[in-house]
């Protein structure tokens, strides 16, 4: 079983739509969680961190449910520029080994 699992999509949505991505993680020792965005043939870039209390950044809202080991990302009012692959990411508790563990990504295509 993969440590971080995501629906690969693709999600094809019209401009202005609201779309939600989900992710589950298997390592209960994971401490920190993030969503990264990766454009085609580009490197991953941090979109936002994910907290149990939920956090919002403009049109993006992320939520963590530790009991269910579940992470979500909600995008409101989708723009063409939101088309990308969204990677769900966890990081362990061990302060020495803080590498990121990535899911396989969910591809989003926003259509005009």
Partner 1 sequence: EAGVAQSPRYKIIEKRQSVAFWCNPISGHATLYWYQQILGQGPKLLIQFQNNGVVDDSQLPKDRFSAERLKGVDSTLKIQPAKLEDSAVYLCASSLVGGSNYGYTFGSGTRLTVV
Residues that bind partner 1 (CB under 8 A): 4, 8, 32, 34, 41-46, 49, 87, 89, 91, 95-105
The residue among 45 and 66 lying less far from partner 1, judged by its C-beta, is 45
The residue among 17 and 22 lying less far from partner 1, judged by its C-beta, is 22
Nearest to 87 by CA among 18, 14, 8: 8
In whole angstroms, the minimum distance from the beta carbon of 41 to partner 1 comes to 8
Q: Which residue has the tokens 């019209």?
A: 14
The residue among 70 and 77 lying less far from partner 1, judged by its C-beta, is 70
According to DSSP, the β-strands at 11-14 and 106-111 are parallel
Query: How does DSSP classify residue 82?
Result: G
């Amino acid at each position: 079983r993969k440590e971080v699992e995501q629906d690969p999509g693709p999600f094809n949505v019209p401009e202005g739509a609201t779309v939600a991505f989900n992710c589950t993680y298997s390592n209960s020792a994971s401490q920190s969680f993030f969503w990264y965005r990766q454009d085609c043939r580009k490197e991953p870039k941090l979109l936002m961190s994910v907290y149990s209390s939920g956090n919002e950044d403009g049109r993006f809202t992320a939520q963590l449910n530790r009991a269910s080991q579940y992470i979500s990302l909600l995008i409101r009012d989708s723009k063409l520029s939101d088309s990308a692959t969204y990677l769900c990411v966890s990081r362990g508790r061990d302060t020495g080994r803080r590498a990121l563990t990535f899911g396989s990504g969910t591809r989003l295509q926003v259509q005009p």
